Every structure is written in C-alpha cells, then in structure tokens.
Structure 1
C-alpha cells in the first residue's frame, strides 16, 4: 500500500514539475519574441 502511494506521489510531482517547466518555457518564448521585436524596431 505504501509503495503505491509513494509511486503516485512521485507521478504527481513529476507532472507538476514538467507542467511548471512548460509554463516557464512558454513565458520565456513569448517575452523573448517581444524583446526581439522591440530591438528590431530600434
């Protein structure tokens, strides 16, 4: 029983970490493209 709970806990943790990394990556790409557009306008 404990092993099942531990595995599911790590599964949830892994999904949360991957999801957070994806959100940060997406935000970085959006901010990066906006910065590149601003630099190009100068």
Structure 2
C-alpha cells in the first residue's frame, strides 16, 4: 500500500512540474525572453 501512495505522490509531483514548465514556456513565447529573465531574477 505504501508503494501505491508513493507512486501517486510522484505522479502528482511530475504533473505539477510539467505544468509549471508549460506555463513558463507559454509566458516566454508570448512575452519574450527578456521579460521572463527580469521576473525570474526578482
């Protein structure tokens, strides 16, 4: 049972990371790389 919970947790983590990367990529495509660099630095 612990293995099932662990796999589920990693699945949620992976989806969150991929989703966040997708949002950042879309923001970069629409706003331009300079804007994202400024946001990431602050």
Compute the TM-score of the two structures, normalised by the length of structure 1.
0.74
Number of matched residues?
Answer: 33
Higher relative contact order (CA 8 A, sep 6+): 2
Q: Specify every segment of 5 or more residues in structure 1 that has no aligned partner in the other structure, as ranges.
A: 36-42
The 5-angstrom pairing of residues 1-42 of structure 1 reads 1-32=1-32
Q: Cα RMSD over matched residues? A: 1.4
Shift >3 Å, 4+ stretches:
none
Compute the TM-score of the two structures, normalised by the length of structure 2.
0.74
Q: Specify every segment of 5 or more residues in structure 2 that has no aligned partner in the other structure, as ranges.
A: 36-42
Greater Rg over alpha carbons, structure: 1
